[in-house]
């Protein structure tokens, strides 16, 4: 249940559980996944979920309404909290890579499907890689540090090298900037 003071992550569990109960899979991604993995380092303003099947807005709204959310443009708002919920259109992808697996976390009777820590690093880094958004680099490093034992840096580097080959506009120096920032104190 969403109530005054519910955190972004509390909301993520509530929303994901509601979709799961309706037999749909909603996967937390974007900045909200970074907040889940590195809450001390980054706080998103919204929960971003990509659905594994495309649903009409009326069906999404039918699941969100009992939780107290109403549609406001393309996002969902709730009177008790300042954060919002968004459902970016799928498929769930990072660069050219379609994401087909994710982590599933449980908290009592609640469930949360969330991109893996490695995918969260890749997702945040992509903002720096493709759009020169320095905050994306900062977020990628924060998640990689907070989830050091769970992030596969070899997989990250292999993905980055593929992206570099496929998109000549991307710069390899940005990959090196990530690793340099990761290892700085």
Q: What is the DSSP string of the chain?
A: ---TT--HHHHHHHHHHHHHHTT--EEEEHHHHHHHH-TTT---SEEEEEESS---HHHHHHHHGGGTEEEETTEEEETT-S-EEE---S--EETTEE----EEEEETTEEEEE--HHHHHHHHHHHHHHH--HHHHHHHHHHHHHTTTT--HHHHHHHHHHHHHH-TTS-HHHHHHHHHHHH--
**Domain residue spans in the chain?**
8-114, 117-183
**Does residue 136 carry a pLDDT above 70?**
yes
Q: What is the pTM of this model?
A: 0.94
Write out pLDDT tens, residues 101-111: 999 999 999 99
- The separation between CA 84 and the C-alpha centre of its own chain, rounded to angstroms, equals 14
Residue 40 pLDDT > 90: no
- Residue 135 has what pLDDT? 94
Domain 8-114 fold: Beta Polymerase; domain 2 (3.30.460)
Share of the chain above pLDDT 70, in %: 99
What pLDDT is attached to residue 17? 98
Per-residue confidence at 168, pLDDT binned at 50, 70, 90? Answer: confident
Q: Is the confidence at residue 185, as pLDDT, over 70?
A: no
User: How much is the average pLDDT of 90-100?
Assistant: 95
Over residues 77-100, mean pLDDT: 96
Average pLDDT over the chain, rounded to whole? 96
What pLDDT band is residue 42 in, cutting at 50, 70 and 90? confident
């Amino acid at each position: 249940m969403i109530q005054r003071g519910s955190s972004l992550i509390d909301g993520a569990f509530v929303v994901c559980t509601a979709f799961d109960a309706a037999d749909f899979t909603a996967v937390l991604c974007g900045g909200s996944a970074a907040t889940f993995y590195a809450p001390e380092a980054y706080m998103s303003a919204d929960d971003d979920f990509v659905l594994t099947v495309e649903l009409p807005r009326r069906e999404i709204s039918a699941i969100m309404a009992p939780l107290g959310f109403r549609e406001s443009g393309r996002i969902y708002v709730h009177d008790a909290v300042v954060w919002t919920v968004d459902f970016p259109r799928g498929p769930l992808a990072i660069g050219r890579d379609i994401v087909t697996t994710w982590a599933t976390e449980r908290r009592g009777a609640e469930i949360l499907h969330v991109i893996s820590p490695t995918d969260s690093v890749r997702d945040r880094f992509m903002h720096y890689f493709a759009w020169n958004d320095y905050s994306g680099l900062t977020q990628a490093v924060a998640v990689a540090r907070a989830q050091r034992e769970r992030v596969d840096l070899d997989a990250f580097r292999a993905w980055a090298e593929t992206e570099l080959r496929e998109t000549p506009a991307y710069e390899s120096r940005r990959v090196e900037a990530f690793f340099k920032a990761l290892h700085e104190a």
